[in-house]
Amino acid sequence: MEMPVPNPAIIARKARVVERLQGVLPTDAVIFDEHETRAYECDALTAYKCPPMVAVLPSTTQEVSDVLRICFEEGVPVVPRGSGTSLAGGALPTADSVILGVARMNDVIETDYENRIIRVQTGRTNLSVTGAVEENGFFYAPDPSSQLACAIAGNIAMNSGGAHCLKYGVTTNNLMGVKMVLMDGEIVDVGGGHLDAGGLDLLGLICGSEGQLGVVTEATLRILHKPEGARPVLIGFDDNEVAGACVSDIIKAGVLPVAIEFMDRPCIEATEAFAKAGYPMCEALLIVEVEGSDAEIDHQLELISEIAQRHNPVELRQSKSAEESAKIWLGRKSAFGAMGQINDYMCLDGTIPVSSLPYVLKRIGEMSDHYGLKVGNVFHAGDGNMHPLILFDANKPGDLELCEEFGAEVLKLCVEVGGCLTGEHGVGIEKRDLMHVQYAADDLNAQMGVKDVFDPAWLLNPAKVFPLDASESRRTIKLAAE
């Protein structure tokens, strides 16, 4: 992936920028030493690295505002960063940029059970939001698999999902309000403790805007009471197509599982070798989880099993206890680790209409043969969110490029069947140059026009989301003006 050439005029101003930032932040919150800035050179898309010019760690909304105002006045690009767990390169810096990390802002500001909301600073990790309310039986629903580490700031930027979003929705469905700082330092509040913010749905626009519209410092989130219980059923099939039909029948039957996970044979084989979860060796495996009281769970699992029986499963295992549930989930939860044991991998997250599942899996298999790279598929089947894991060897020259080419073909296929490039990871730099595949020039212009309103100088995370050629005239306005 290409990144814009750093602006030497900005780098030449480094000393002045550092001095001004030190004027508004504590000494230890401004990192500019070339060894120390390396800690911020990449996120979880580790194939791409570039230390920023400076990294700052503000502790308050006012400090964020001061930092942004200074960068605005100095014409310095700012890359906001939560915990740096983006798989799409959303927090990848450029050499002329300031990384603005919100990690020090992790307080719970207000917990309001009566109104079922929690207000937090956005540096707080996803899991610790639930941690703050679980002793009272509540939880925060979106559960990206990086939830132990990822920050709410990044969840909002990428509109993160998770395994349980089939029932509970993704971040945008659980976000009620934000305090956000615009690039010029202005602080705005959108939404709050009430439902459906008035006026235009700015909240919906901000969520998923990949840190390009503003820096969100506080968030009001919806919390829910935990269900009485949850248990899965594991179903194995000899055919992908049959597994896909079974998913569709479960959904049509009126059962709304909290999760439907899908694994294909290469993935099952890898996880069995790694985690020994006792999975059947078959073409496709479904894990379907439902919630409620014990009796409610039994009833739903029985219905799902009846539907599955009609499709001649090779294996059908209803969990009866917490131990059995854990065993069923063990393989799925170690799938990424298992694939990582075999080789380096690239994880895609294109989404497809569920009905296209068999066709897409078949085509991915053919592409795998063509490129000579192995691929395993883990899949949130209920909502069509795929996770093909393409294996490659990072030490082998040309393998990464080959893998990226393969990945791009898979994502083009997702769009071709009526789906999209990314279901939950975001565009970042990883899918930036594929945006043309999904969107026409007018579509991209409409989106870029939104950024023009929030950040007219295009200083916030400017080299992300939009193909560089499409955004070039906007990103270079300020350079020309200098």
Partner 1 sequence: MGITSEEALVDAVKAARGPVAVQGGGTRGVPAAGDVLSVAGLNGITLYEPGALTVVAQAGTPVADIEAALAKENQRLAFEPMDHRKLLGTTGEPTIGGVMAANVSGPRRISVGAARDFLLGVRFVDGRGAVIKNGGRVMKNVTGYDLVKLMAGSYGTLGVLSEVSLKVLPRPETQATLVLHGLNDAHGIAALSQALCSPFEVTGAAHSPTDQKTMLRIEGFETSVAYRLGRLRDLLATTGAEMDVHTAKASEDMWHKTRDVAAFQNQEGDIWRVSCKPSDGPALAAGSGAQEWFYDWAGGLIWLRAAPDHDLRSALGLFDGHATLVRADVQTKARLWMFHPETAGVARLTAGLRAQFDPKGIFNAGLMEQAA
Q: Which of residues 413-472 bind partner 1 (CB under 8 A)?
A: 418-427, 431, 435, 438-440, 442-447, 449-454, 465-466
Retrieve residue 168's tokens: 């509970």
Instruction: Find the shortest distance in angstroms from Cβ 13 to partner 1.
Output: 29
Choice from 198, 395, 480, 481 touching partner 1 (CB under 8 A): 198
Task: Let me know: does 373 contact 392? Beta carbons within 8 Å.
Answer: yes
Q: Interaction with partner 1 in 151-170: which residues (CB under 8 A)?
A: 158-159, 161, 165-166, 169-170
Instruction: Find the shortest distance in angstroms from Cβ 142 to partner 1.
Output: 11
Instruction: Find the shortest distance in angstroms from Cβ 355 to partner 1.
Output: 6
CA pair distance 79, 89, nearest whole angstrom: 11
**In what helix (H) or strand (E) does residue 110 lie, and over which residues does it extend?**
strand 108-112
Choice from 73, 186, 401, 472 touching partner 1 (CB under 8 A): 186
CA pair distance 431, 72, nearest whole angstrom: 27
CA pair distance 307, 311, nearest whole angstrom: 7
CA pair distance 338, 333, nearest whole angstrom: 9
Task: Let me know: does 353 contact 419? Beta carbons within 8 Å.
Answer: yes
Neighbours of 111 (CB within 10 A): 14
Q: What is the DSSP letter of 125?
A: B
Choice from 9, 12, 278, 293 touching partner 1 (CB under 8 A): 293
Neighbours of 276 (CB within 10 A): 11
Instruction: Find the shortest distance in angstroms from Cβ 113 to partner 1.
Output: 6
Instruction: Find the shortest distance in angstroms from Cβ 188 to partner 1.
Output: 4
Q: Interaction with partner 1 in 295-354: which residues (CB under 8 A)?
A: 295-296, 299-300, 351-354
Measured from the CB atom, the residue of 54 and 117 that comes closer to partner 1 is: 117
Choice from 13, 226, 333, 412 touching partner 1 (CB under 8 A): 226
Measured from the CB atom, the residue of 405 and 452 that comes closer to partner 1 is: 452
480 SS3 class: helix
Retrieve residue 482's tokens: 């200098």
> What are the residues whose beta carbons fall under 8 Å from the beta carbon of 441, sequence distance 6 or more?
470
Cβ-count burial 80-92 (b if 16+ within 10 Å, e if not): bbbbbbbbbbbbb
Choice from 74, 107, 201, 433 touching partner 1 (CB under 8 A): 201
Q: Does 235 bind partner 1 (CB under 8 A)?
A: no
- What value, to the nearest 5°, has the Cα angle with vertex 334 and ends 313 and 386? 65
Stretch in the footprint of partner 1 (CB under 8 A) among 92-100, 145-153, 182-190, 387-395: 182-190
Q: What is the DSSP letter of 413?
A: H
Helix, strand and coil in the chain, % to nearest 5: 40, 20, 40
Instruction: Find the shortest distance in angstroms from Cβ 360 to partner 1.
Output: 12
Choice from 2, 73, 110, 228 touching partner 1 (CB under 8 A): 228
Site string for partner 1, 112-141 (x = CB under 8 A): xxxxxx-------------------xx---
Burial class (CB within 10 angstroms; exposed 0-12, middle 13-18, buried 19+) of 358: middle
CA pair distance 477, 339, nearest whole angstrom: 45
Instruction: Find the shortest distance in angstroms from Cβ 316 to partner 1.
Output: 20
Choice from 384, 388, 407, 462 touching partner 1 (CB under 8 A): 384
Q: Interaction with partner 1 in 206-225: which residues (CB under 8 A)?
A: 207-209, 225
Instruction: Find the shortest distance in angstroms from Cβ 95 to partner 1.
Output: 26
Instruction: Find the shortest distance in angstroms from Cβ 207 to partner 1.
Output: 7
Task: Let me know: does 212 contact 464? Beta carbons within 8 Å.
Answer: yes
Instruction: Find the shortest distance in angstroms from Cβ 186 to partner 1.
Output: 6
Phi/psi region, residue 211 (left: phi>0; alpha: psi -120 to 50; beta: rest), is left
Q: Interaction with partner 1 in 8-67: which residues (CB under 8 A)?
A: none
The size of the interface with partner 1 (CB under 8 A), counted in residues, is 97
Measured from the CB atom, the residue of 392 and 458 that comes closer to partner 1 is: 458
Choice from 248, 305, 343, 476 touching partner 1 (CB under 8 A): 248
> What are the residues whose beta carbons fall under 8 Å from the beta carbon of 5, sequence distance 6 or more?
none
Q: Does 385 bind partner 1 (CB under 8 A)?
A: yes
